[in-house]
Amino acid sequence: MNNLNKTMDAINELNKTHGVKQRGGKMYTQVVHRMEAFRRHHGTEYGVDTQILVDDGQRVVIKAIITNNDGHTVGSGMAEEIRGQGHVNTTSALENAETSAVGRALASLGLAGGEYASANEMDAVSRKSDAIQSNKAEPVQLVKKPLSKEEAEWLAHNEATLDQYTLKDLEVFMNKNPRSVHLERS
Query: Tens digits of per-residue pLDDT, 91-150?
Result: 999 999 999 999 999 999 988 876 655 445 555 655 556 655 666 656 655 566 666 777
Higher local confidence (pLDDT), 69 or 24: 69
Helix-then-strand count for the chain, H and E: 6, 7
Least confident of 52-56, 58-62, 70-74, 117-121: 117-121
Chain segment 63-79, per-residue pLDDT in tens: 999 999 999 999 999 99
Q: Where in the chain is the domain with CATH 3.30.390?
A: 2-135
**CA angle, residues 90, 92, 97, in degrees to nearest 5:** 115
Indicate the SS3 state at residue 162.
helix
Is residue 33 predicted with pLDDT exceeding 50?
A: yes
Is the pTM here over 0.85, yes or no? no
The model's confidence at residue 8, banded by pLDDT at 50, 70 and 90, is confident
Fill in the amino acid letter for 120: N
Is residue 56 predicted with pLDDT exceeding 60?
A: yes
Is residue 164 predicted with pLDDT exceeding 60?
A: no
The model's confidence at residue 180, banded by pLDDT at 50, 70 and 90, is very low
Q: What is the CATH number of domain 2-135?
A: 3.30.390
* Alpha-carbon gap, residue 154 to 173, rounded angstroms: 9
* Alpha-carbon gap, residue 172 to 48, rounded angstroms: 37
Burial 4-42 (b: 16+ CB within 10 A, else e): beebbebbeebbeebbeebeeeebbbbbebbbebbeebb
pLDDT value, residue 51: 96
Nearest to 118 by CA among 11, 31, 5: 31
The H or E element spanning position 94 is helix 89-108
Is residue 1 predicted with pLDDT exceeding 60?
A: no
pLDDT value, residue 141: 59
**CA angle, residues 31, 54, 161, in degrees to nearest 5:** 125
pLDDT (average), residues 155-181: 54
Sorted by sequence, the CB contacts under 8 Å of residue 24 that are 6+ apart come out as 119
pLDDT value, residue 157: 64
pLDDT value, residue 20: 79
